[in-house]
Amino acid sequence: MAGWAASWRRAWAARLVPDPAALVRRRGFGAAALACAVAGNMLTWLAWTDRFGTVWAFHVPGGALTGIAVALFAMLWSDRLGSYDEAHVEFAIPLSFTVAFALYFVLLLTKRGSIPFLVLLLAMIALSFWLACRRRGEGRPPAPAARPRPRAHRGLLSFGVLACVSWVQVAFFRVVATPEIMGDRIAHFIIPFTCACVLSLVMLALCLRLSRYLNISLAYRWSLPLFMLSYVPIFIDYGNPTLRLAAYAINFLGMFSVQFGCWLGACKYLRRTGSPALTVFGVYALGEGLGIFLGCLAGLYAVLSLDEKGLMVLSSVLLTAVAFAIMVTGFNPQWVFNRTRSRGEDGAAGATGADGAGPNLDALFEQEARALQASFDLTSRETDVAALLLAGRSRPYIRDELTVSINTVSSHVRSIFSKCGVHSQQELIDLARKGSGAGGEEA
């Protein structure tokens, strides 16, 4: 009976959304995102300027439409970024966030009711739509053939929980730690936001350079210490507007870390597995929206119903609950990319794929790397790196695969090039192919 019910649900899901990946790439999907973004920002602008004396009549639907647009644009961009290799992802995402920061500055300036800034905002939204939508005939390449396709929806529940609890913390803290209005209604956004933007980009650059693996776990490895640190200023003196400004900036920094970690890890996950962006980022958007809603409810309750001591107690309890949830869900092995077979397994499989249908390319590359090891005295780790270089992999991919820093990868690559007497990855590939061909002729 249960099996029949599951089959019935799958059949109806397939009828409603036959191909989630194709749905995201339709022009209508992008047009819906653009329409929601334009209508939402227009209504929000009318609410801020209070031109008709009905703030909430515009603010609520404007916020709802803008939230829908954010989710749709996230799926559009993730589908495009999921087609990039690791090196391009690690370049495109920081660049995209830099543009998003600029867009948010323009959004803040529209609070003053400036029509030119509103026009600029809508133009930037339209440009984002044009860039995110795929051209006709353009598609996403399939996942690497050497990787077995994971079971559908595997690891997505923990991803959604991680996103939800992280945004509960962000939204709750933004309500309870909002700085006092200091002369200018947007100054308390501009100052902490600017500081957090600069620091987050610097910290991301350091992570890209020094971290030994960049996957979804970066979201909590980076954000959790910042969430804890953000409470220190308000615990010292909750009524001090300067300290609350500092706490707000730290909370922004934690929020950016959640976004950076989830986007970097999820786009790499799309690339590795070929999963549809609609599924992966639909889960993320649902977790984010639910987390913001629950966090705002808890924050409003704390501010309106509790005294300062009660607010601190509730904040401590919530932070403990968030940390516990992250510890429970934040170590899912499905997020880790270096799940390749060991050499012993490859040797046992030989040069034939696991299904017996064709050559195992990973095994062929490793055979060529071992030939280079024998000829040029490569170390064991250099042989691992050489096999991935021969497969055409980028250095960020090698970093994720072998769990070493990008500096270590670069050091191994320089050593391999020096020992083999080559100057580029293509020259190394040509050398290995030439040696392989010579060995075959002798045989």
Phi, psi of 359 (to 5 degrees): -70, 145
- Whether the per-residue pLDDT at 335 is higher than 70: the answer is no
The whole-angstrom distance between residue 207's C-alpha and the CA centroid of its chain comes to: 14
Report, as an integer, the average pLDDT of 118-140. 54
Residue 439's pLDDT band, with cuts at 50, 70 and 90, is very low
pLDDT at 235 over 70: yes
Return phi, psi of residue 250, to 5°.
Answer: -65, -35
Nearest one of 173, 187, 33 to 108, comparing CA atoms:
187
With tokens 């999963």, the residue in question is: 275
Residue 184 has a pLDDT of 58
> pLDDT for 144-203, tens place per residue?
444 444 444 566 788 888 889 889 999 998 888 876 544 455 666 777 888 888 888 888
% residues pLDDT > 70 (the chain): 70
pLDDT confidence bin for 373, thresholds 50/70/90 = confident
**How much is the pLDDT for 416?**
92
Alpha-helical segments (H) within 306-424: 308-329, 343-349, 361-376, 380-390, 395-402, 406-420
* 54 vs 42, residue with greater confidence: 42
C-alpha closest to that of 79 among 32, 138, 16, 5: 138
The pair of three-digit structure tokens given for residue 347, joined into one six-digit string: 């040797």
| pLDDT for residue 175 | 86
Residue 86's pLDDT is: 80
> pTM of the entire structure?
0.74
More confident residue, 346 or 401: 401
**387-433 pLDDT, tens digit each:** 999 988 888 888 888 888 888 999 999 999 999 999 988 889 888 88
Q: Which amino acid is at 180?
A: E
Phi, psi of 182 (to 5 degrees): -115, 70
For residue 15, pLDDT beyond 60: no
Burial class (CB in 10 A: 0-12, 13-18, 19+), 249: buried
pLDDT band at 116 (very low <50, low <70, confident <90, very high): low
CB neighbourhood size of 274 (10 A): 17
Higher pLDDT, 172 or 85: 172
Go through the chain and tell me how many residues it has: 443
Buried b (16+ CB within 10 A) or exposed e, 107-119: bebbeeeeeebbe
Which helix (H) or strand (E) element contains residue 232?
helix 218-236
